[in-house]
Amino acid sequence: MKVYDGENSVLGRLASRVAQDLLEGEEVRIINAEKIVITGNEKDIKAKYAHRFQQLTNAANPRKGPNRSRRPDYFVKRVIRGMVPRKTARGREALSRLKVYIADPEQLKEKAEKYAECRSRKKMTVLELCTWLGWRGRA
């Protein structure tokens, strides 16, 4: 079992590494999902995701689906899901071996390893993006 600490890790790089591990048959856990970083200009990131969330709503009745989750752990899991062939048996099995956590459970804290540290000045955390999109929970 591999455990990745998401604190100050780049979302795309971490997600591609995790997808690769899942397809190789590893069990993967990600802790501190809310502290994962999306690089780029904050205004551009918000515009991209606002467009994605508005694009999916039904024009006749916005309360009707498909709705995307705004929770940071589900958000990260969704990014990884896009990198795995989820419509095949192999992909479904791979996704069943993935667990993503907000904060860090004590039993996984010692095993965690860092991956793809962010050095960019222009960045935004997943928590900031999810709260901007409407998540009202807390980490």
Instruction: Give the domains, in start order, of the chain with CATH numbers.
Output: 2-133 (3.90.1180.10)
pLDDT of residue 26: 94
pLDDT of residue 114: 84
pLDDT of residue 101: 92
Distance from C-alpha of 28 to C-alpha of 115, rounded to nearest angstrom? 13
Q: Would you say 75 and 30 are in contact if contact means Cβ atoms under 8 Å apart?
A: no
pLDDT of residue 104: 82
pLDDT of residue 62: 66
Question: Structure pTM?
Answer: 0.85
Question: DSSP string covering 30-66, please?
Answer: EE-GGG-EEES-HHHHHHHHHHHHHHTS-SS-TTSSP
pLDDT of residue 70: 85
> What's the CA angle centered on 115, arms 107 and 99, to 5 degrees?
45
pLDDT of residue 56: 60
Residues of the chain short of pLDDT 70, as ranges, are 54-59, 62, 64-67, 138-139
